[in-house]
């Protein structure tokens, strides 16, 4: 089993959707590799999708549902 598979399994077993590092990167399970988003700065996170723009989403450490405005604010923080 590869490192990414071990991490993905652990994330899934604990109810996470991906990895996140504040203001840097958010990756969903199945879309990270040792070269991106795999360092001690990252932690498990939950995916939040914008209700009007489903292509706009974030990974956050906040589990509770987020509003579109909160999602937009997070997206703007990164850019």
**Would you list the domain boundaries of the chain?**
3-78
Check pLDDT > 70 for residue 9. yes
3-state secondary structure of 19: strand
Check pLDDT > 90 for residue 16. yes
pTM value is 0.85
Check pLDDT > 80 for residue 78. no
Question: Average pLDDT in the 12-18 region?
Answer: 97
Q: What is the pLDDT of residue 36?
A: 64
Check pLDDT > 70 for residue 24. no
Contact 54, 70 (CB under 8 A): no
Give the confidence band of 44 by pLDDT, cuts at 50, 70, 90.
very high
């Amino acid at each position: 089993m590869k490192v990414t598979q071990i991490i993905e399994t652990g994330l899934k077993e604990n109810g996470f959707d991906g990895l996140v590092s504040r203001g840097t990167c958010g990756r969903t399970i199945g879309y990270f590799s040792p070269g991106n988003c795999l360092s001690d700065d990252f932690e498990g996170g939950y995916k939040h999708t914008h209700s009007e723009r489903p292509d706009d989403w974030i990974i956050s450490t906040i589990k509770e549902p987020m509003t579109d405005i909160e999602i937009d604010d997070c997206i703007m923080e990164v850019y």
